[in-house]
Amino acid sequence: VQPPEKPLQAEEWNRLKESFRSPKIFETVMFNSMVRCNSPIDVAKSLLTYVAKSDGDVAYTLLVKYLALCVQQGQTSEICDVYDIMKRRFKLIEGGAYNLLIRGLSNSDQWRMALTLLEEVKKIMIPSRTNYESCIKAASRHQEMNLAFELYHEMLAKDLVPTLDVLQAFFDFSRGMKGAELQKELFGMLLHLRENQIYPHKTFMWSIKLWFESIPGGNWRGHLTNIKDSGQCPVCNHQLEDSDLTEEEYNNLREKIIRDVIHGTDPFRKTSPQEFQAFQTFVENRLPFDIVIDGLNVSHIKPRKMHCENLFDAVNCLAKENARLLVLGRKHMLIDSSNWKREIMKEIQNKADFFFAENISEDDAFLLYATLQSGKHCKFVTRDFLRDHKACLSDSLTRHLFRKWQRGHQIAFASSSKKMFLSVFIQQPALCYDCVVQTTGDTWHIPYKDTLDEKYSYRVPRKWLCIQQK
């Protein structure tokens, strides 16, 4: 339905309604299309008047839709009026309407009213994070930074995750302001990014950079850069942190992996206690390994090649520097078949240790265990993202640890090109620096997402913002 361009008389609305194929929902449909087309508010008013006069009442849905239209066009006085009517008319206003009210009012000069509304919402439920977002933005826009921070902390206390927009608003509106307290808060936000392994996007990164450079007397300078593979920043020659875990974190992660991933709810689901026991003794007797290889995963790198050849290539490629290798596989690999030639398997077994799990067991869990048991230097090879194992971990803190450890210790192989005769692997090495927001006090290094090309969660950003104090 195309909404009319000018307010209509009751008469005309009546005619329109009768010509509509289902007159019962006419008003709803009409209002929806008004919101979509952003019709002038007078048209909506005339429809409301028509409805009110013919029914003697306006339904709540229509009021909400009208409110949406008002918010869309920033009609503050109308928003207040609708709120007034709702307040008198209904005992309770539900969340959807509050969302609209708060959003609408926070963008106007009546923004303080949005705060009172937020208080009202708190009485009936936990406000959504967008509620907080609107209020915080409104407060910081009017330079009431204390109020904004108060709301921000309140939001964190309620386990709501702040949107990047909120954080960006803080950086945007504190530009050029002085105050140790303020600085501390904003540094805290950067550390929040660090702890949750969040990468800011490009515009947010600019806000951060500009804020740093605007601190009076701070002498901060920011540069955009790419970090070298060695982990050195080309601008300030500072060496970035590596992704090693602390001793405590490492032990913690290892225990959680055994408990949640390998045993889980039922130790029989991924393996069996006997088998795991056998594997544990096997690993204990041969420690430590340098590289642990997921045999089946690696053997599928090049689809045209025999599986065992792929594995052979991979092992050869890794066996160079006297490294101790462990290959995990399943028992069916030992049976002579078109893909698994016994002679080649024999030859590989000379170069690396092998452990063959039952055909119905999951070898990934063993991979994690063996690598963690070998110590911090040990790396593992698989193309698998190990997401399902990460998902088994019970708390988000351990999941972050797992991701960090994975970034630093996983080597992924990819076949070099589509031409099959090339037998070179491209080795995607584990990064030797950790890709998170980091600081040394007088420098900050912040990885950021370059808008489009880095939307994948498993790919870490390659672009960095280097900020240093002169």
Partner 1 sequence: MQSANMFLKKILRSPVLPFAAQHGMKKDLLPLSRTLSLSLCLKQDNSCNPEEKLDLDAWKKVMKSELPEVVGETVSEHKELSTLAAARETVEMWRLAGRLVPENITEEQLKTFVECSSKSAQKKYLKFLHVRELYKKNDKRKMDEKRERRLETKEQASEADEAKRNSFICLWASCMDRAYSWRAAQSMIFGQPLVFDMSYEKDMSAREVANAVRQMVFSEGCNRRSADPFHIHFCNFKEDSLYHKEFIKHYREAWGKLLITVTDQCYTEVFPKDKLIYLTADSPKVMKTFDHDKIYIVGSIVDKSIKTGVSLARAKRLGLETAALPLEKYLLWNIGAKNLTLDQMMHILLTLKDTGDWRKALEFVPKRKYCGFVSKPVHELKKTLSLVNTLKLGKRREELQKQFAKNYSKKLTRK
CA gap 288, 57 in Å, rounded: 78
Q: How far is the CB of 19 from partner 1 (least distance, A)?
A: 16
Which of residues 85 and 323 has its CB atom nearest to partner 1 in the complex? 85
What distance in Å separates the CA atoms of residue 123 and residue 132, rounded to the nearest whole number? 15
Q: Which of residues 13 and 369 has its CB atom nearest to partner 1 in the complex?
A: 13
**Taking the complex as a whole, how short is the minimal distance between the CB of residue 10 and partner 1, in angstroms?**
6
Q: Which is nearer to partner 1, 339 or 427 (CB)?
A: 339
* Residue 233 near residue 226, CB atoms below 8 Å: no
Shortest gap between Cβ of 424 and partner 1 (angstroms)? 23
CB of 5 to partner 1, least distance (A): 11
Specify the 3-state DSSP secondary structure of 310: helix
Which residue, chain included where needed, has tokens 């009017």? 142
Is the Cβ of residue 228 or residue 331 nearer to partner 1 in the bound state?
Answer: 331
User: For partner 1, which is the closer residue by CB, 322 or 359?
Assistant: 359
- Compute the least distance from the CB of residue 272 to partner 1, in Å: 6
Q: How far is the CB of 84 from partner 1 (least distance, A)?
A: 8
- For residues 52 and 424, which CB has a smaller minimum distance to partner 1 in the complex? 52
Rg (CA), the chain: 31
* Identity of the residue, 93 or 437, whose beta carbon is nearer to partner 1 in the bound complex: 93
Binding site for partner 1 (CB under 8 A): 6-7, 9-11, 14, 28, 42, 45-46, 48-49, 51-54, 56-61, 64, 81, 85, 87-94, 96-97, 124-125, 266, 268-270, 272, 359-360
Beta bridge partners of 77: none
Least separation in angstroms between residue 275's CB and partner 1 is 10
Closer residue to partner 1 (CB): 54 or 451? 54
CA 355 vs. chain centroid, Å, equals: 36
**CB of residue 46 vs partner 1: minimum separation in angstroms?**
6
What is the closest distance, in whole angstroms, from the C-beta atom of residue 7 to partner 1 in the complex? 5
Residues 6+ apart with CB under 8 A from 385: 458
For partner 1, give the closer residue by CB, 31 or 149: 31
